């Protein structure tokens, strides 16, 4: 018998609980916990929950962005990124001083590298 992945469990849980609340939600969650126990998947609960949150955000149109910059971004820059990627964009910032300037924005499936370090490398390669 083939085991489900944490992603499959998370998507199934999302679909099963969509629009539920109160006793109905509790009942579905209790049944889900039983399934995980019977299938020896309890140890994967943290991963399933993380995948559930990621999938739920995606279904609700929330885009997660990882933004790396040389310095802390200002409020205006963050607002500009939200304007570009949508008001529901959740931005996780990190600092990498080796970038020198600019930003690198990572989404689920794309990387937008507008760093000064990348621009200098492009210029160097063009000159060689």
Q: Are residue 39 and residue 70 in the same domain, yes or no?
A: no
Q: Are residue 53 and residue 69 in the same domain, yes or no?
A: no
Question: Which tokens in the block code for residue 36?
Answer: 């995980």
Q: Are residue 36 and residue 50 in the same domain, yes or no?
A: yes
Q: Is residue 1 part of a domain?
A: no
Q: Are residue 71 and residue 111 in the same domain, yes or no?
A: yes
Question: Which tokens in the block code for residue 30?
Answer: 């209790």
Q: What whole-number distance in Å separates Cα of residue 121 and Cα of residue 114?
A: 12
- pLDDT digit string (tens) for 27-85? 999 999 999 999 999 999 999 999 999 999 999 989 999 999 999 999 999 999 889 98
Please return the burial class of 115, using the count of CB atoms within 10 Å of its CB with bins 0-12, 13-18 and 19+.
buried
Do you know the residue count of the chain? 128
Q: Is residue 30 part of a domain?
A: yes
- pLDDT digit string (tens) for 8-40? 999 999 999 999 999 999 999 999 999 999 999
Q: Which domain holds residue 87?
A: 64-127
Count of domains observed in the chain: 2
Q: Give the predicted TM-score (pTM) of the model.
A: 0.68
Name the strands in the sheet holding 90-95, side by side, starting at the edge strand that comes first in the sequence: 90-95, 64-69, 102-106, 111-115
């Amino acid at each position: 018998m083939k085991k489900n992945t944490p992603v499959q469990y998370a998507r199934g849980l999302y679909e099963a609980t969509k629009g539920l609340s109160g006793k109905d939600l509790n009942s579905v969650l209790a049944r889900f916990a039983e399934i995980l126990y019977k299938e020896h998947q309890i140890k994967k609960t943290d991963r399933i929950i993380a995948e559930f949150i990621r999938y739920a955000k995606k279904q609700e149109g929330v885009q997660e962005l990882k933004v790396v910059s040389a310095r802390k971004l200002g409020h205006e820059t963050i607002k500009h990124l939200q304007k570009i990627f949508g008001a529901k964009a959740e931005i996780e910032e990190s600092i990498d001083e080796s970038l020198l300037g600019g930003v690198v924005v990572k989404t689920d499936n794309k990387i937008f590298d507008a760093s000064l370090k990348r621009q200098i490398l492009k210029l160097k390669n063009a000159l060689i």
